[in-house]
Structure 1
């Protein structure tokens, strides 16, 4: 039986249940006088959360005392200096920061000494609360999309950034300082958190105790799992995912679809939508790296999940910006990410008379003139003749366009692109954005100096079509199915394949062979994944699934009465 795209895939909790509300969480706290540390990201409304938790304790006859750790923040200049963003430094980059390696204790002038109260509960709350001596540890979470959207929309101008809870939000700090610091801190706490709280509904948060949290993640790390998808809106965004997948974005279009971007992805756990927690996907890699990633992948990438899947929807939208991504040495030296940002575009669908993919340089492109046109567009609003410098290729359904780091590219209007890429995703070095303005009338940031510093002039002329727009090559086949390699380059650490499975067949056999697989249904009704230990997981059109390394042998069975295409990627 086939079904429609599921925007809220959900998995059952193991060895516990998801509770709802502050009262339920408070009632689960051990009796007696104790110090409760409630840690979490800066973007939470900490004052309200602490007040509501204290009220829940009071209603149960327990006295609650509050200690807001944020009142011990160091002055802002000290925070900047400690996190690699010294004020007034001559080499300050207004677009990016090296990924911060600073611990959360750098936010504070001095950590307070908490004394266990003579009566009731002392609630130490705020980012880094676990750094203060405590008896019980809770982690209160809010998915990252909330902070990013709030800053972009200026809906939550105060309290989003670490170390600056009374000041306006800053995306640059959020991406390159706050998130790396918070993630490292959260990951270190995961083995000992006593309760995990999801504050997407701050008045009635969902929560799960630490034992059930870890048991559930252990179970998910051994079987196929899908993350909760969502779409961002941008000035170039389209309407395909609105029509085809049922999304209703507040911004009016479905530009960027987060199918599986590990640093921001979440997995929904609970029996129903009224009692579910969204757990960070990253915790699967942190707590079960070899089972989930595979031994060799873990040795190479640590606990970083190295491949991402997202959609770029420009149907009834506009061209993406002309941009490229940092080459490996530059990525390490300037931005601090240990591996680079190779990408591919797989065209899932297209509309319009002549949709295009911009990719690679024209033969003997005049890069000095290209720089002049880029600067003229920025400084004087003059149009850039993009195709004078960058090739334009017809967009074909089912075609993969490979984009090694340093290669200029853009998806044109009318495309639905499944972007299969290395995980780093915050380093789009843009040259040109078609003179677009945002809702406030501002131009998009264009860090073109970084772009030209990374431009790979070798990717030009006929070499582009030969190397980057490859013809499928059959890898293996069986009755009613075949697997093709559709994209592989020696310089890229992952490859992209495609399974074609005929309706009514027994499907394709496969084996993770000790490294995770990612699957996406790019055409047809869907498939069912069957593992050797008896698990099953269905996957509908446009959905993305991770098959952990620990799965081993599995089978992909087709659904519906048409051939099914399943795009697959893995670390080579």
Structure 2
């Protein structure tokens, strides 16, 4: 079967901090506060299915099993789990997320078959004054943080940053972080659902009970001497050129503005994921052309080869290093 750009049915996740903002992308949401759209994923907690073309109806796990390296590329599998290595999300934060941290792959208390979680955020939209928590105050130690948690003053140890549309944040495992109310985010991450909560504003979960905290695990995995986290403004100086937002052992993510035809190519090493941030255009390849719009996330098979982006739009491109 000839390869083509794959679009998936998102797996929607109800979250106490979520809302309805993902509807602006034309997505159909179930009832309730929807915080996460898992746009491309192959995880026990959510596996997306193709909704376009000849592979419609197949899950990402089935594509992996049937076509393997042809679609994913020679590097396109987690060495630990054998699954698709990334998870692509859109996040609607109508309220503050919990203060949290993620482990790396080597943490010995990870659930069986689970990965650590290095991730990055691209701010698609932000209300004026919206903030995130991004790292500890300089010099904060495990002992100081544990004492602050016990005294209910953890916020004294955390750094807050005001964000705006177009900001990018790289969040290696071990970085304390939390998205704040009023942001809409594209997230590229390892294929993991491992989160340790340090603090959750003493609120109740969707079940009416206090949400679980993971203080000991959190204190164990925080990178107190620095995790390599970085953030940047992403104003582009030219069209049809890539700006690198994140370069990690697990993914590379770049941003580009499409203003005229932009010829590109996949490689045998890795699939390519394109997230359409704004504007409209198309993806054209040897056997067809697809119109694309904001909020859509496409997986381009490693064996697709030459393709062209057209139109006037901002896109993110992610692939494996």
Report the CA distance between 1:411 and its aligned residue: 0.4
Aligned pairs (5 A) from 1:259-408:
259-263=39-43, 264-268=46-50, 278-298=57-77, 300=79, 303-314=82-93, 317-330=94-107, 334-337=110-113, 339-351=115-127, 353-375=128-150, 382=152, 384-386=153-155, 388-408=156-176
1:361 positional shift: 1.2
Aligned to 2:265: 511
Cα drift, residue 296 of structure 1: 3.2
Matches within 5 A, 1:89-488: 218=1, 222-245=3-26, 247-251=28-32, 253-263=33-43, 264-268=46-50, 278-298=57-77, 300=79, 303-314=82-93, 317-330=94-107, 334-337=110-113, 339-351=115-127, 353-375=128-150, 382=152, 384-386=153-155, 388-425=156-193, 427-459=194-226, 467-470=229-232, 480-488=239-247
The total of aligned residue pairs comes to 317
Displacement of 1:439: 4.3
- Counterparts in 2 of 1:299 and 1:244: CA distance versus 1, 3 Å: closer
Change (3 A) 1:338 1:242: closer
Provide the secondary structure at the position in 1 that maps to 2:75. helix
CA 1:410/1:329 → structure 2, altered by over 3 Å: closer, same or farther?
same
How far 1:339 moved relative to its partner?
A: 4.6
Rounded Cα–Cα distance in structure 2 between residues aligned with 1:241 and 1:374:
34
2:50–2:59 contact (8 Å) kept in structure 1: no
Tell me what 1:26 maps to: none
Query: Are the equivalent residues in 2 in contact too, given 1:355–1:395 (CA < 8 A)?
Result: yes
Change (3 A) 1:552 1:473: farther
Q: Which has the higher strand share?
A: 2
Q: Is the 8 A contact 1:268 1:278 kept in 2?
A: yes
| C-alpha distance after superposition, 1:485-513 (max 9, x if no partner) | 11224xx32111012112xx2x2111111
Q: What SS is found at the alignment partner of 1:365?
A: coil
Deviation string, structure 1 residues 46-71 (Cα, Å, up to 9, x no partner): xxxxxxxxxxxxxxxxxxxxxxxxxx
1:523 to 2:278 alignment: yes
- Distance, in Å, in 1 between the alignment partners of 2:77 and 2:14 is 34
- CA positional deviation for 1:547: 0.3
Shift of 1:433: 0.8
Give 1:549-560 correspondences, 5 Å limit: 549-558=302-311
TM-score, normalised relative to structure 1: 0.52
Equivalent-residue separation in structure 2 for 1:349 and 1:304 (angstroms)? 31
Question: Which is greater in Rg?
Answer: 1
Change (3 A) 1:485 1:293: same
What is the distance in 2 between the residues matched to 1:566 and 1:270?
A: 20
- The Cα of 1:373 is off from its aligned counterpart by 3.6
2:81 touches 2:113 (CA, 8 Å); kept in 1? no
| Pair 1:270–1:543, CA change in 2 (3 A) | closer
Deviation at 1:539, TM superposition (A): 1.8
2: distance between equivalents of 1:299 and 1:420?
15
TM-score of the superposed pair, with normalisation by structure 2: 0.89
User: What are structure 2's unaligned runs of at least 5 residues?
Assistant: none
> d(CA) in 2 for partners of 1:552 and 1:299?
23
Task: Give the superposition deviation at 1:473.
Answer: 9.7
Uncovered stretches (5+) of structure 1, i.e. residues with no partner: 1-217, 377-381
Alignment partner of 2:186: what SS? strand
SS at 1:550 equivalent: coil
Judging changes above 3 Å, is the alpha-carbon distance between structure 1 residues 543 and 243 closer, same or farther for their aligned structure 2 residues?
Answer: closer
Quote how far apart the aligned CAs of 1:443 are: 0.7
Cα separation, 1, equivalents of 2:294 and 2:51: 22
8 Å contact from structure 2 (residues 263, 306) kept in 1 = yes
Contact 1:471 1:486 in 2 (8 A): no
The whole-number CA distance in structure 2 between the counterparts of 1:329 and 1:521 is: 33
